[in-house]
């Protein structure tokens, strides 16, 4: 049982390049999330999904797209990377238990855009 995994762990992009971050979970969770973490800002929600084939915008969605074609995978795409997207990206998954969505986090992807 690997929990939540993220690939890649590190990546350096040039401005304007594109890339996709992959999140996978083996806990059969319905809900998945992408956050970004910046110094002094805590974690901010980018996009989330409440089930296969569904996605929704979070607090800071601009410049990102997501897809949830399979229940276990949640992809985060950057179509044209900008230096402002330099950050650590965390994926999480959850399931409701008595109305509580306790989230399980992946190890993160550190992205640098030059």
Partner 1 sequence: AQSVTQPDIHITVSEGASLELRCNYSYGATPYLFWYVQSPGQGLQLLLKYFSGDTLVQGIKGFEAEFKRSQSSFNLRKPSVHWSDAAEYFCAGQNSGYALNFGKGTSLLVTP
Of 75 and 106, which CB lies nearer to partner 1 in the complex structure?
106
Q: At its nearest, how many Å lie between partner 1 and the CB of residue 33? A: 6
The answer to whether 93 touches 31, Cβ cutoff 8 Å, is: yes
Q: At its nearest, how many Å lie between partner 1 and the CB of residue 51? A: 10
Please name every residue paired with 96 in a beta bridge, in sequence order, or none if there are none: 101
Of 23 and 78, which CB lies nearer to partner 1 in the complex structure?
23
Burial 60-88 (b: 16+ CB within 10 A, else e): bbeebebebeebebbbbebeebeeebbbe
Q: At its nearest, how many Å lie between partner 1 and the CB of residue 16? A: 28
Residue ranges in contact with partner 1 by CB under 8 A? 4, 31, 33, 35, 40-45, 48, 50, 58, 90, 92, 94, 96, 98-108
Of 58 and 63, which CB lies nearer to partner 1 in the complex structure?
58
Q: At its nearest, how many Å lie between partner 1 and the CB of residue 80? A: 26
- 10 Å CB burial of residue 49 (0-12, 13-18, 19+) is buried
């Amino acid at each position: 049982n690997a929990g939540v995994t993220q690939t890649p762990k590190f990546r350096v992009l040039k401005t304007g390049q594109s890339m996709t971050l992959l999140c996978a979970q083996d806990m059969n969770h319905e809900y998945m999330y992408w956050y970004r973490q910046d110094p002094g800002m805590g974690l901010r929600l980018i996009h989330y999904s409440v089930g296969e084939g569904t996605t929704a915008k979070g607090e800071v969605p601009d410049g990102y797209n997501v897809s949830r074609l399979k229940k276990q995978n949640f992809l985060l795409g950057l179509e044209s990377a900008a230096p402002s997207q330099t950050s650590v990206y965390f994926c999480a998954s959850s399931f409701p238990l008595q109305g509580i969505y306790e989230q399980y986090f992946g190890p993160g992807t550190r992205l640098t855009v030059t």
